[in-house]
Amino acid sequence: MKFLITGGAGFIGSAVIRHIIAHTSDTVINVDKLSYAGNLESLTLVESSSRYHFEQVDICDRKELDRLFAFYQPDIVMHLAAESHVDRSIDGPADFIQTNIIGTYNLLEASRAYWNGLDLERKEQFRFHHISTDEVYGDLENPSDLFIESTSYKPSSPYSASKASSDHLVRAWQRTYNLPTLVTNCSNNYGPYHFPEKLIPHIILNALQGKPLPIYGNGQQIRDWLYVEDHARALYLVATQSKAGETYNIGGHNEKTNLDVVHMLCDLLEELVPENQYSKQHAGGGGFRSLISFVQDRPGHDLRYAIDASKIEKELGWRPKETFNSGIRKTVSWYLENEAWWSRVLDGSYSLTRLGSGV
């Protein structure tokens, strides 16, 4: 099968591509405009595969999308391209409206035009899989509540509102035009190749450098964490095994407060890099926890998200392989072993890959 994957140079998209190239015989066309979040250095493991192709294209460019559909003739579209950082959406929502809503609309229309021209069998097999977030559901009030697939939408931030809009567009294209679509809503991901502006890599890298570890408000916000490779496996299953029109929630059964996550990271770092000058175990070190600094809360910050993932488990047999303890240990070890990747993100030189080579 041929997958056209948007946003494949991002955190989750690159994990999906690494998964497909390593574990299947399918072909991938990675369509990514390479925003600040796109990093081709996350794809070095697959770039020499004859089953991997890269196209630097903005999903808002309809003409280019039409060219890609005509040339590659994909069987499945997996749509991950998005502006994804809540703080950036508060500072400047325009890019979120453009990529997440207008871009999704363009991709739906390009897919529909292409799909209309397919023969009956390929038409039935075609899937447009939209990758979304649990943030569209907003805050959970009662401690025992969980998001299910029919929970109503109540987005709080410009980011989640733009993702909610795109989910609605996708479902409308299914209902109105019969375009075979799928939607998945997933909880917070973590793991290798995560851009350092996000909580977990930000804390690991700041701690290693003895910088403050900022925590919003009192740190009691609860997120349901999922290891990114478990998400990639789930997405492949959904894209290839499910009925058109389906929605699946994907989550890790790992609810943690942000403060607990930061404490765990500090303790793991104490264990794994005792020689670091900021570690408690190093003479004179105050311990990584002493770097924690509580900062003013994010406006509109949701308190708790938690996913009921029983539908995907029952229907497709998916369960996460990693617990939070095993996944966070793998993640911290990956950052310790891959300074070459993250130091090029921190000093900005990763972006030369896209500016210098013209790819």
Which residues have a catalytic role annotated?
134-135, 159
Burial 163-189 (b: 16+ CB within 10 A, else e): bbbbbebbeebbeeeebbbbbbbbbbb
Specify the 3-state DSSP secondary structure of 214: strand
Please tell me whether residue 21 binds ligand NAD under the rule CB under 6 A. no
If the CB atoms of residues 84 and 156 are measured against ligand NAD, the closer one turns out to be 84
- Cα distances (angstroms) measured from residue 151 to each of 70, 177, 244, 309: 38, 24, 20, 13
Radius of gyration of the chain (CA): 20
Among residues 9, 46, 77, 110, which is the contact residue for ligand NAD, using CB under 6 A? 9
Tokens of 98: 């453009």
- Footprint (CB under 6 A) of ligand NAD, residues 106-145: 131-133
Among residues 111, 189, 221, 258, which is the contact residue for ligand NAD, using CB under 6 A? 189
Note every long-range contact of 351-357, with CB atoms under 8 Å and residues 24 or more positions apart, other chains counting.
Answer: 351/34, 351/36, 353/39, 353/40, 353/41, 354/34, 354/38, 354/40, 354/56
Cα–Cα distance, 208 to 27 (Å, whole number):
38
| φ/ψ of residue 322, rounded to 5 | -95, 140
If the CB atoms of residues 201 and 273 are measured against ligand NAD, the closer one turns out to be 201
Among residues 27, 32, 249, 320, which is the contact residue for ligand NAD, using CB under 6 A? 32
Among residues 74, 103, 155, 158, which is the contact residue for ligand NAD, using CB under 6 A? 103
Please tell me whether residue 84 binds ligand NAD under the rule CB under 6 A. yes
Among residues 89, 174, 188, 206, which is the contact residue for ligand NAD, using CB under 6 A? 188
Piece of the chain touching ligand NAD by CB under 6 A; list 1-9, 108-116, 255-263, 342-350 = 1-9
- Footprint (CB under 6 A) of ligand NAD, residues 41-80: 58-60, 80
Cα–Cα distance, 353 to 359 (Å, whole number):
8
Please tell me whether residue 195 binds ligand NAD under the rule CB under 6 A. yes
Piece of the chain touching ligand NAD by CB under 6 A; list 6-14, 142-150, 200-208, 214-222 = 6-14
The residue sitting closest to ligand NAD, measured at its beta carbon, is 10
Helix axes 104-116, 158-177, angle to 10 degrees: 20
In the complex, the residues that contact ligand NAD under the rule CB under 6 A are 6-7, 9-13, 32-35, 37-38, 58-60, 80-84, 99, 103, 131-133, 163, 186, 188-189, 195
